[in-house]
Amino acid sequence: MSFAPDRSRRATSLLRDRRGWLGLAVLAIALGAFLVVRARHGESEAEDTPIVTAETALARVADFPVTIAVLGTVVPGPGAEARPAAPAPTRVTGVLVAEGDAVRAGQPLVALDVAVFQAQLEQAQAALAAAAESRRRLERLVGQGIAPRKELEAAAAEEAQARAALAEAQHNQELGTVRSPIAGIVTEVAVAVGQPVEANQPRVHVVDPAGLAIVLRLAPDDAGRVAPGADVALSTTDAAGAAGGAGLGNGTVIGISGAVDATGSVAARVAAPRTARRLLAGESVTGRITIGVHRHVVVVPVTALVPGDEGVHVFVVAADSIAHETPVVVGERSDTDAEILSGLRGGERVVTAGAYGVSAGARIRGPGQ
């Protein structure tokens, strides 16, 4: 009996088994190599993704106030300032107040040399006495039929003029001390002892802080959109005279001019009875006037807006922290927020501070992470 065929079959079977195991081994090695390469490729991709530190905020749905931002100046209201002056040319003998002093109505401000006023008074008294004597003399002559009545009438007119001149001289003598006609704060003293002054030339300025108002300068088109009673958010201006200063509080539009002034603007007067600090006459302020409200719109911080060659876009941060450039259409703006007309639905997380340093595909990391 021969065992050669069996041995041959067993050898063939063994060879097949070995080849199968060898194929599996090769497959396993290839798969492992693929996984290693894929992992290294993933690590390379992760290393190539830029990481940017930036702040984010949610795009929210809210009511958006429509406002107009304008510049203005704090000015004294009617009767809230005074610039008393000397009644006639004379010389200063005393300065009784300094800039910043609080004064009451009638308080002396500047003492003047009254010698000239005394001389005017004496001349006026003498002129009146002479005019009165002339009138009395003509009365006697007219009564005797010697002088015509028209001469008496002229003498009576001269006496009346002399009496008016005397009253003015007496008034000027009383004004030998310049007094404040209102209560307030002295904001300017442009006079010194011994200095000559001209008649009706103001040398002291007094302002009543309680009577200050704000005049905003509107473009003619904007003036037609503002109505008395509109709310105004007030703030100081920055060093360059532009918006962006500290908040002062709120005011109300109380009047709008019906004419365009020399600067091409329309004046709107604003009352601000309660402010964060005392307003100062002459200081510049910014007013943001509310002219309407857009209801239930998408709102994002203005820092999220990034202008580009083809418009404005924002960077929306996905769940994996990757930033995606998203074009948007912007409506109204305020100092802090912007209305989004299209491009966002609300609820998206957008990059805010730091958006200018972000590129599409960047991984966003919050501050402190």
- The DSSP code sequence of 81-144 is EE----SSSEEEEEE---TT-EE-TT-EEEEE--HHHHHHHHHHHHHHHHHHHHHHHHHHHHHT
Q: What is the mean pLDDT of the segment spanning 91-103?
A: 91
What are the start-end ranges of the E strands in 12-141? 51-53, 56-58, 60-76, 81-82, 90-95, 102-103, 108-112
Question: pLDDT at residue 27 above 60?
Answer: no
Question: pLDDT at residue 205 above 90?
Answer: yes
Mean pLDDT in the chain?
81
pLDDT for 57 equals 92
Helix (H, G, I), strand (E, B) or coil at 337: strand
More confident residue, 278 or 121: 278
Pair 182, 206: CB distance under 8 Å: yes
Pairing of strands 231-236, 311-317: unpaired
Containing 213, the helix (H) or strand (E) segment is strand 212-218
CA 362, 365, 369 angle in degrees (round to 5)? 155
Listed range (18-27, 60-69, 93-102, 259-268) with the worst mean pLDDT = 18-27
pTM (two decimals): 0.59
Rounded-to-integer distance, Cα 64 and Cα 330, Å: 12
Pair 364, 358: CB distance under 8 Å: yes
Pair 214, 272: CB distance under 8 Å: yes
pLDDT for 10 equals 52
**3-state SS track over 248-310:** EEEEEEEEECCCCCCCCCEEEEEECCCCCCCCCCCCEEEEEEEEEEEEEEEEEEHHHCEEECC
Q: Name the amino acid, one letter, at 262.
A: A
pLDDT for 87 equals 77
Rounded-to-integer distance, Cα 348 and Cα 286, Å: 33
**How big is the chain, counted in residues?**
369
* pLDDT band, residue 329 (cuts 50/70/90): very high
Rounded-to-integer distance, Cα 134 and Cα 118, Å: 24
pLDDT for 173 equals 63
Short-list 171, 167, 189, CA closest to 180? 189
Question: pLDDT at residue 28 above 50?
Answer: yes
Question: pLDDT at residue 37 above 50?
Answer: no
Rounded-to-integer distance, Cα 70 and Cα 216, Å: 6
Q: Name the amino acid, one letter, at 104.
A: R
More confident residue, 316 or 139: 316
DSSP H helices in 144-262: 149-174, 220-223
Short-list 85, 87, 83, CA closest to 116? 87
Helix (H, G, I), strand (E, B) or coil at 34: helix
Task: Let me know if 245 is exposed, middle or buried by CB neighbors in 10 A (0-12, 13-18, 19+).
Answer: middle
Short-list 338, 348, 256, CA closest to 302? 338
More confident residue, 140 or 367: 140
In the chain the domains, ranked by start, together with CATH numbers, are: 51-64+295-365 (2.40.420.20), 69-78+209-293 (2.40.30.170), 88-206 (2.40.50.100)
Containing 333, the helix (H) or strand (E) segment is strand 323-333
Tens of pLDDT, residue by residue over 218-269, are 999 888 889 899 999 898 876 544 555 678 888 899 999 989 999 899 999 9
Q: Name the amino acid, one letter, at 48.
A: D
